[in-house]
Structure 1
């Protein structure tokens, strides 16, 4: 098998169906299989998806995994990852549409460089703008500080201040990056075998950054490939705003403790913790009060792939 595609579903029947169809309705020059992992949906979406894709499941093209409990996006993907034996793996969000020959282009690009551990494509929002999360730097102290203080928003074209989402780089060019977004991440299985599965300490947010961090640390390259594209209906499956805010900042805390805490002084760590949980408290308070904080703060609620409440 050339490729295994993993799609996590959580109460997103229409979106997930659309995502699957955007894959299987194309003629691909490679062999592939799709794993649909349901995170204990209570809306009947798993049953409906099984009915819709009965023929595909009978032929083995689509395999369904029913998770009895929603333990997060990482856990759901790991259930499928433990079953696959393909050369490549694609994490694909349930609120995306694969455009044209996006997957084929990415696989071809991977085939031409055996040092590539992961490739991400251009992720476009429905309004045609770039989903900035699809190419990022690791959130070390400086990068996170510039984002939290709004400097990355004020000076997006600055190589110093715009590192969080690499806004100073041309979105239509291809280059190496630190990390990609879990909405579309094509990985070489050899890299996964070397670094291990997704870290299930992350419920939603952060597990993709952590994976990329470990992949790069193991010597693999990670590339943002602009010639391939998907559409991301970001936030379409988001119904738990407070949960989303909490998990975003919790992921920052976990990531810092895992990869940076030992590198920085106690003072820097104290500043980091204060920044993370201070921002969390502010965002939570504003959201609870139903204030349009997007007009007050330079940065809105974290814009990550929220179908990862499939997470």
Structure 2
């Protein structure tokens, strides 16, 4: 069974070449579809030249930054595989990663995630989380119990969760299409949380493959444009709140959350500008 690996690029840097090489070394049949959101670093072109004789690698040039979700949707529309693996360009999979994740797919499962880890092997809490409802987000900020992160050891196999990390998502293509793909209202960030929520709302399972570890290099593209990325992250947080949090039914609460999110963004601006200058 062919798996279409969709990787979105936006000045994502040289690690992308290793990401592609690792995906192509998978022990299951794959094709790699790179969707370039207007990169100026020359990496998409160099990968296309390097794999000119390999029909497993294709590059789609958007010539502009359409956002993460819209780019994935365009890559999925060109995919030939029965399964889709949405993969960040700074994620490196092992040869057996796709097969081990696919072992957890069934007719009720729309999304399988993996445990994303840093260079030291530490698991990212975003590998599995609860929906970021307002009360949970507040608890997380205050360091109280009942927050977004799931406490306890990671499972040794499959675990039903509310959200898995969008750094790596395996889906049956049919399920992706029934869900309508990523909601293109989300330019960047929270589109994975929205997809997981909509999948569960339609009766699907979202599963973490706790026995699969993937190295995640964490955001080369994000480091290049920290203010731009943070603005879209805050905007997406509010969109998710409006769409999925029952608290958003109350106009005063919506106004308070909107004000709180953008006040948080403004407070972060000085640090973001300093990071950009460095």
What is the TM-score when the length of structure 1 is the normalising length?
A: 0.82
Q: Are residue 188 (structure 1) and residue 172 (structure 2) matched?
A: yes
Q: Distance in 2 between matches of 1:172 and 1:129?
A: 15
Q: Which residue in 1 is equivalent to 2:161?
A: 177
Asked if the contact 2:248/2:254 (under 8 Å) is kept, the reply is: no
Q: Which residue in 1 is equivalent to 2:270?
A: 285
Equivalent in 135, 154, 164 of residue 142 of structure 1: 135
Alignment of 1:66-105 (within 5 A): 66-105=61-100
Q: Distance in 1 between matches of 2:136 and 2:249?
A: 14
Q: Distance in 2 between matches of 1:103 and 1:289?
A: 39
Report deviation, 1:185: 0.4
Alignment of 1:140-219 (within 5 A): 140-147=133-140, 149-151=141-143, 155=144, 158=145, 160-161=146-147, 164-166=148-150, 168-173=151-156, 174-219=158-203
Report deviation, 1:67: 1.0
SS in 1 for 2:40: coil
SS in 1 for 2:123: coil
Asked if the contact 2:129/2:163 (under 8 Å) is kept, the reply is: yes
Q: Which residue in 1 is equivalent to 2:207?
A: 223
Asked if the contact 1:137/1:165 (under 8 Å) is kept, the reply is: yes
Report deviation, 1:211: 0.9
Q: Which residue in 1 is equivalent to 2:38?
A: 40
Report deviation, 1:288: 3.4
SS in 1 for 2:224: coil
Q: Distance in 1 between matches of 2:233 and 2:167?
A: 16
Which runs of 5 or more structure 2 residues have no equivalent in the other structure?
none
SS in 1 for 2:107: coil
Q: Distance in 1 between matches of 2:154 and 2:248?
A: 32
Q: Distance in 2 between matches of 1:48 and 1:262?
A: 48
Report deviation, 1:139: 1.3
Report deviation, 1:61: 0.8
Q: Are residue 5 (structure 1) and residue 5 (structure 2) matched?
A: yes
Distance 1:276 1:265, change over 3 A: same
Report deviation, 1:289: 5.7
Asked if the contact 1:13/1:48 (under 8 Å) is kept, the reply is: no
Map Cα deviations across residues 125-172 of structure 1 (whole Å, 9 max, x no partner): 11221122121111112112223x332xxx4xx4x23xx121x13124
Distance 1:236 1:126, change over 3 A: farther
Which runs of 5 or more structure 1 residues have no equivalent in the other structure?
291-311
Q: Distance in 1 between matches of 2:272 and 2:59?
A: 36
Q: Taking CA–CA contacts closer than 8 Å with sequence separation of 6 or more, which of the two structures ends up with the larger relative contact order?
A: 1
Q: Distance in 2 between matches of 1:261 and 1:67?
A: 36
Report deviation, 1:116: 0.8
Q: Distance in 1 between matches of 2:246 and 2:211?
A: 37
Q: Which residue in 2 is equivalent to 1:244?
A: 229
What is the TM-score when the length of structure 2 is the normalising length?
A: 0.91
Q: Which residue in 2 is equivalent to 1:269?
A: 254
Alignment RMSD (CA, Å): 1.9
Map Cα deviations across residues 182-206 of structure 1 (whole Å, 9 max, x no partner): 2100012222122102111111101
